[in-house]
Amino acid sequence: MHIIKLTDVSYSYKVPAEDDSYTWQVGVKNIDLEIEQGSFVALVGHNGCGKSTLAKLLNGLFVPHSGKVEVAGMFTDDNKSIFNIRSNVGMVFQNPDNQMVTSIVEEDIAFGPENLGVPQKEIVERVHWALAKVGMSEFARRTTTRLSGGQKQRIAIAGALAMHPQVLVLDESTAMLDPQGRKEVLEVVHSLNKEEKMTVILITHFMEEVLGADKVVVMNHGCKVTEGTPMEVFSRSRLLEEVGLKVPRTIELARRLKSAGWNVDENCTDATELGDRVCQLLHNN
């Protein structure tokens, strides 16, 4: 069952020209995409390829100029549904500092449900639940400004969770974090996907991060250029190269060895294992 379905979706930006006229710049063009309920989807592409435009179309921040965006049976161009759609699709953006609305952690998380008119008692429950889900329970009464980048992003995720969304969209939410912070955020979203069956859409250009996804969608110049499992997509390395992306280093090495006649697993993602295998082959012959 799909939870999100895009049918021939296009969106362009109005760009003012020198005289009073304007031109249109393509954001996304003719996108068809289905996202299964409970799946983990990675959306990749270089800067300016249309990934973020697509994300904003998913919860009705943008309404398509042509085509339809369906979310949980509702359409984003239907004004009556838009409120419902937004509480169903939680968004987390790139810069952790831009997403904090209050100075105390638990107040920040309560902001969303408060706006939805959730009863006070339930808000408290939701805040505790959301904090536990991101592993930050002990930070409830801390100041938001004193957290690390990874902690701030986990609070932003908790804020989205408190709205009880069915879908979580992370728009390059790991791009500004150090490796430790990236790891923390990724662990949280993977566990939400597995334990809460939450649909996760992860927008990134760290190719290592797409390894755990069910499906990878590659974008370029506003169009979807290919989709498939991580390994299917990595096997199209020339295409990836053309759109400015790169296969993770270990897989690249494994594939090159394989095509040169070495009997190694071309989908190997562990460099130590790959080294062991090479040694085994050398030893046997």
Partner 1 sequence: MSIVAQQLNYIYNKGTPFEKHALCDVNVEIGDGEFVAIVGHTGSGKTTFVQHLNALIRLQSGQLKVGDIDLTEKKTDLKKLRGMVGMVFQYPEYQLFADTVEADIAFGPKNIGIDGEKIADIVRESLDLVGMSESVLKKSPFDLSGGEKRRVALAGVLAMQPRILVLDEPTAGLDPQGKREILSLVKKLNRERGITVIMVSHDMNEVFENVDRVIVFREGKVVHDLPPRDLFRMEEDIVNMNLEIPYVAQFLNSLEKHGITFDEDIRTVDQAFEAVNGLKGGK
Binding flag, residue 260, partner 1 (CB under 8 A): yes
Contact between 110 and 127 under an 8 Å Cβ cutoff? The reply is yes
Q: Which of 18, 138, 179, 195 binds partner 1 (CB under 8 A)?
A: 179
Site for partner 1 in 214-253 (CB under 8 A): 244-246, 248-250, 252-253
Give the sheet arrangement for strand 167-171, strand by strand. 89-92, 167-171, 199-204, 40-44, 215-220, 223-228
Identity of the residue, 172 or 227, whose beta carbon is nearer to partner 1 in the bound complex: 172
Nearer to partner 1, 231 or 281 (CB): 281
Q: At 3, which helix (H) or strand (E)?
A: strand 2-16
CA 100/CA 90 separation, integer angstroms: 15
178 is a site residue for partner 1 (CB under 8 A): yes
- Phi/psi for 162 (5° steps) reads -65, -15
Show the tokens assigned to 250.
Answer: 């270990």
Cα→Cα distances 45→67, 205, 221, Å: 22, 6, 9
In this structure, are strands 167-171 and 89-92 parallel, antiparallel, or unpaired? parallel
Stretch that binds partner 1, among 2-10, 57-65, 192-200, 265-273 (CB under 8 A): 265-273
- Exactly one of 159, 205, 223, 234 binds partner 1 (CB under 8 A); that residue is 205
Nearer to partner 1, 21 or 285 (CB): 285
Please give the size of the binding site for partner 1, defined by CB under 8 A. 40
Which residues pair with residue 219 across a beta bridge? 224
Binding residues for partner 1, rule: CB under 8 A, are 45-48, 94, 148, 172, 175-176, 178-180, 205, 207, 244-246, 248-250, 252-253, 256-257, 260-263, 271-276, 278-279, 281-283, 285
